[in-house]
Amino acid sequence: MNKSKRPFTKSKRSFRRRLPPIQSGDRIDYRNMSLISRFISEQGKILSRRVKRVTLKQQRLITIAIKQARILSLLPFLNNQKQFER
């Protein structure tokens, strides 16, 4: 009996578990620009939890930090500069 003809069997594919984007020692703060900039899209939007795979608590702290950085003009509110392709 071929493997392909057996229904409902799981394939034995191995996968590498992704490392979490925020380590336990990282401080989620408006001053930590290298961390915050990873959670902002090219348009300047805050990326969702599902996209970046962070916990709810981490996402709340990231959102607060991004908003504080925007108010203190460390980050732009909008990023409307269009990149022209050559």
Residue-wise pLDDT for 3-54, tens only, equals 566 667 666 677 777 777 787 778 899 999 999 999 999 899 999 999 999 9
E strand or H helix at 51:
helix 49-52
Q: Would you say the pTM of this structure is higher than 0.85?
A: no
| Contact in structure between 86 and 78 (CB atoms under 8 Å) | no
Q: According to the model, what pLDDT value does residue 72 have?
A: 95
CA 50 to chain centre: 8
Give mean pLDDT, residues 46-63: 93
